[in-house]
């Protein structure tokens, strides 16, 4: 069959790499893709929000299945459009993607169906929001309701910070995403990423993972899309996985079905593992980036039948096998990220780095120009390695990074530290 992957990040490179290995695939395309994806798929210069052009291409290239990577096309209805055109795809409808597109929607659903999450209030005017924040006291979390490219969440340490955050969101800086504010109790614990494929009725948990959101070593500095990840995440014990499925994922799948907007695709729960147990921080309606890079690396089974089963409603007949080995990925980002950074800087040494045993490099923001690899974004490369332990995978990843020549880029030097500390304690 012919498959089209939508997106251009490290997540899409990892998905395309895994899909390319499927014996079911005859031709693989990616729109728009990147410098690394170009080596395994035919990259098509289409914008993920240009639905007309995507449909046209699907007809021309006789695409049998579309895999949508990023949230924007999902929230804006790409899957609905493809469905209307009779083209099968992986991902939720716009109505189901509201789990990611509106924090208030998700909090109300949790409240109605008893899904554990931080106490909250929803507000469309600043005075009421401030009164609620004052009453609850700091620390408190202030969020823009809609998609704000990861920048709409402020952890306020003081009441004054909370008020400033509320004013900032209502100032219009986040556009429509800031028309409403959600204020939440601050949860204490360790974060983990949880992924389950869903077909509207059934849910299938994937392997566990954790990412590092902060830009600097020691989990310091501003939040980013993710500076590295690893799988498995030892904090998610088999007991906890079972609880997350029973208390969070399955009730969500049933709630969405009951509301007439069944969720199909991958449900990505950002969790806080608190003393009381797992609590939902937020949902995403897509795969995580960079978590997907480690999940695809550890997956033994063919991913494509599982993705198709989410569309067909046959996920109960799918089982996935995972490698025992751990996987770890280190993100290399352009100097300055997550603030301003330069583009079109040259990256060398990738061939040598890719030859380090057990290493695979997924590209995020790159392009190829006259045979040279250039950076095109903030997060640029995902140097991914496997090993018997997270510590062994980490060693291989950093050995490869030492061979990459990119003076305009940087990476964290401690990806995996929590898992490695746990490995040392149990060794």
* Binding of ligand GLY by 228 (CB under 6 A): no
Out of 20, 44, 95, 153, the residue judged to bind ligand AMP by CB under 6 A:
153
Provide, rounded to whole angstroms, the least separation between the CB of residue 314 and ligand GLY: 27
Q: Please list, in sequence order, all residues whose beta carbon lies within 8 angstroms of the beta carbon of residue 378, skipping any fewer than 6 positions away.
A: 224, 225, 333, 334, 337, 338, 341, 365
Question: Is 79:68 a contact under the CB 8 Å cutoff?
Answer: yes
Residue 88, CB-side half-sphere exposure with 13 Å CA sphere: 16
Give φ, ψ of 132 to 5 degrees.
-65, -45
Out of 27, 173, 213, 422, the residue judged to bind ligand AMP by CB under 6 A:
213
Binding to ligand AMP (CB under 6 A): which residues in 281-320? 281-282
Question: Is 410:333 a contact under the CB 8 Å cutoff?
Answer: yes
DSSP code per residue over 375-417 = E-SSEEEEEEEEESSHHHHHHHHHHHHTT-B-TTEE--S-TTH
Strands ordered across the beta sheet of 203-205? 203-205, 190-199, 264-274, 277-284
Provide, rounded to whole angstroms, the least separation between the CB of residue 345 and ligand GLY: 24
Give φ, ψ of 2 to 5 degrees.
-100, 130
| Three-class SS state of 349 | coil
Cα–Cα distance list, 300 to 297, 325, 360 (Å): 8, 11, 15
* Binding of ligand AMP by 32 (CB under 6 A): no
DSSP code per residue over 170-212 = HTTTTGGGGSSEEEEEPP-SEEEEEEEEEESS-EEE---BEE-
Binds 289, which of ligand GLY, ligand AMP, none (CB < 5 to 8 A, cut-off by type)? Answer: ligand GLY
Question: Is 100:79 a contact under the CB 8 Å cutoff?
Answer: no
Counting Cβ atoms within 10 Å, is residue 171 exposed (0-12), middle (13-18) or buried (19+)? exposed
Binds 291, which of ligand AMP, ligand GLY, none (CB < 5 to 8 A, cut-off by type)? Answer: ligand GLY
| Three-class SS state of 26 | coil
Out of 91, 234, 288, 378, the residue judged to bind ligand GLY by CB under 6 A:
288
Binds 296, which of ligand AMP, ligand GLY, none (CB < 5 to 8 A, cut-off by type)? Answer: none
Binds 211, which of ligand AMP, ligand GLY, none (CB < 5 to 8 A, cut-off by type)? Answer: ligand GLY
Provide, rounded to whole angstroms, the least separation between the CB of residue 413 and ligand GLY: 19
Binds 288, which of ligand GLY, ligand AMP, none (CB < 5 to 8 A, cut-off by type)? Answer: ligand GLY
Provide, rounded to whole angstroms, the least separation between the CB of residue 248 and ligand GLY: 17
* Binding of ligand GLY by 291 (CB under 6 A): yes
Provide, rounded to whole angstroms, the least separation between the CB of residue 290 and ligand AMP: 14
Q: Report the residue number, 129 or 296, with the smaller CB distance to ligand GLY.
A: 296
Provide, rounded to whole angstroms, the least separation between the CB of residue 159 and ligand AMP: 17
Integer Cα distance of 231 and 239 in angstroms: 17
Binds 281, which of ligand GLY, ligand AMP, none (CB < 5 to 8 A, cut-off by type)? Answer: ligand AMP
Binds 187, which of ligand GLY, ligand AMP, none (CB < 5 to 8 A, cut-off by type)? Answer: ligand AMP
Q: Report the residue number, 225 or 251, with the smaller CB distance to ligand GLY.
A: 225
Counting Cβ atoms within 10 Å, is residue 68 exposed (0-12), middle (13-18) or buried (19+)? buried
* Binding of ligand AMP by 270 (CB under 6 A): yes
Using CB under 6 A as the binding criterion, the count of chain residues that bind ligand AMP stands at 13
Integer Cα distance of 389 and 330 in angstroms: 15
Cα–Cα distance list, 323 to 241, 299, 320, 344 (Å): 18, 6, 10, 37
* Binding of ligand AMP by 141 (CB under 6 A): yes
Site string for ligand AMP, 178-197 (x = CB under 6 A): ------x-xx---x------
- Judged by CB under 6 A, the stretch of 196-204, 252-260, 282-290, 385-393 that binds ligand GLY is 282-290
Q: Report the residue number, 289 or 414, with the smaller CB distance to ligand GLY.
A: 289
Question: Is 285:92 a contact under the CB 8 Å cutoff?
Answer: yes
Out of 101, 200, 226, 262, the residue judged to bind ligand GLY by CB under 6 A:
226
**Residues forming the site for ligand AMP (CB under 6 A):** 118, 141, 153, 155, 184, 186-187, 191, 213, 223, 270, 281-282
State the residues that interact with ligand GLY by CB under 6 A: 211, 225-226, 284, 288-289, 291
């Amino acid at each position: 069959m012919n498959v089209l992957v939508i997106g251009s990040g490290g997540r899409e490179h990892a998905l395309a790499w895994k899909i390319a290995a499927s014996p079911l695939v005859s031709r693989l395309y990616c729109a728009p893709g990147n410098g690394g994806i170009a080596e395994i798929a035919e990259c098509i210069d289409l914008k993920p929000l240009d639905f007309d052009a995507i449909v046209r291409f699907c007809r021309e290239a006789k695409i049998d299945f579309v895999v949508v990577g990023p949230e924007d096309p999902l929230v804006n209805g790409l899957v609905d459009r493809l469905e209307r055109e009779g083209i099968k795809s992986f991902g939720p409808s716009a109505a189901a993607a509201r789990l990611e597109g509106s924090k208030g929607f998700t909090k109300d659903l949790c409240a109605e169906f008893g899904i554990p999450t931080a106490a909250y209030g929803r507000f469309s005017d600043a005075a009421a929001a401030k009164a609620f924040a004052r009453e609850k006291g700091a620390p408190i979390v202030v969020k823009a309701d809609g998609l704000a490219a990861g920048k709409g969440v402020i952890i306020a340490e003081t009441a004054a910070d909370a008020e400033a955050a509320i004013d900032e969101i209502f100032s219009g800086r986040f556009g429509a995403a800031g028309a409403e504010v959600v204020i939440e109790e601050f949860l204490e614990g360790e974060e983990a990423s949880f992924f389950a494929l869903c077909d509207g009725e059934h849910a299938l948990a994937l392997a566990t993972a954790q990412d590092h959101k902060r830009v600097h070593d020691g989990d310091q500095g501003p939040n980013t899309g993710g500076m590295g990840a690893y799988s498995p995440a030892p904090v998610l014990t088999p007991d906890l996985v079972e609880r997350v499925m029973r208390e969070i994922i399955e009730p969500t799948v049933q709630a969405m079905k009951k509301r007439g907007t069944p969720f199909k695709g991958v449900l990505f729960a950002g969790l806080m593992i608190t003393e009381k147990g797992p609590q939902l921080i937020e949902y995403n309606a897509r795969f995580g980036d960079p978590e997907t890079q480690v999940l695809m690396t550890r997956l033994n089974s063919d991913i494509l039948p599982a993705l198709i089963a989410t569309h067909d409603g046959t996920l109960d007949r799918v089982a996935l096998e995972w490698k025992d080995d751990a996987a770890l990925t280190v993100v290399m980002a352009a100097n300055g990220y997550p603030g301003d950074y330069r583009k079109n800087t040259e990256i060398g040494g990738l061939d040598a780095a890719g030859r380090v045993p057990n290493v695979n490099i997924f590209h995020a923001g790159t392009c190829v120009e006259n045979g040279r690899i250039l950076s095109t974004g903030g997060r640029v490369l995902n140097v991914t390695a496997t090993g018997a332990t997270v510590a062994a995978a980490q060693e291989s990843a950093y050995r490869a990074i030492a061979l990459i020549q990119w003076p305009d880029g940087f990476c964290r030097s401690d990806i995996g530290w929590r898992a490695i500390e746990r490995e040392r304690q149990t060794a």
